[in-house]
Amino acid sequence: MMFEDEDDEKEIDVKDLPIYQKGKEIWAVVHQIADLIPEDDKRLLVIKSWVMSDAMQLTVKVAGAQGGLYDIKMEAATLIRKAAHDLILHQHSLKSFGFKNTEYFSIIRELIEEYRLLFIDWVKGFDQNDYIIDRWGLFNPPGVDPFDHDPDDDIPYNGFDEFD
Return per-residue pLDDT of the chain as tens, 164 residues.
344 444 443 568 999 999 999 999 999 999 999 999 999 999 999 999 999 999 999 999 999 999 899 999 999 999 999 999 999 999 999 999 999 999 999 999 999 999 999 999 999 999 999 999 999 999 999 999 999 998 878 888 766 666 65
Q: Is residue 100 part of a domain?
A: yes
pLDDT of residue 8: 40
pLDDT of residue 164: 56
Give the residue numbers spanning the domain of 63. Answer: 2-129
Q: Is residue 47 part of a domain?
A: yes
pLDDT of residue 153: 80
pLDDT of residue 120: 98
C-alpha 98/C-alpha 110 separation (Å) is 23
Q: Is residue 154 part of a domain?
A: no
CA nearest to 80, candidates 154, 27, 31? 27
pLDDT of residue 154: 80
Q: Is residue 98 part of a domain?
A: yes
C-alpha 5/C-alpha 67 separation (Å) is 8
Q: Is residue 134 part of a domain?
A: no
For 3, 10, 11, 71, 130, the CA distances from 7, given in Å and listed in that order, are: 12, 8, 11, 20, 12
Q: Is residue 14 part of a domain?
A: yes
CATH of the domain at 54: 1.20.1440.60
Q: Is the pTM of this model over 0.95?
A: no
Q: Is residue 61 part of a domain?
A: yes
pLDDT of residue 76: 98
**How many domains does one find in the chain?**
1
Q: Are 150 and 140 in contact (CB under 8 A)?
A: no
Q: Is residue 74 part of a domain?
A: yes
CA nearest to 93, candidates 50, 32, 57, 29? 50
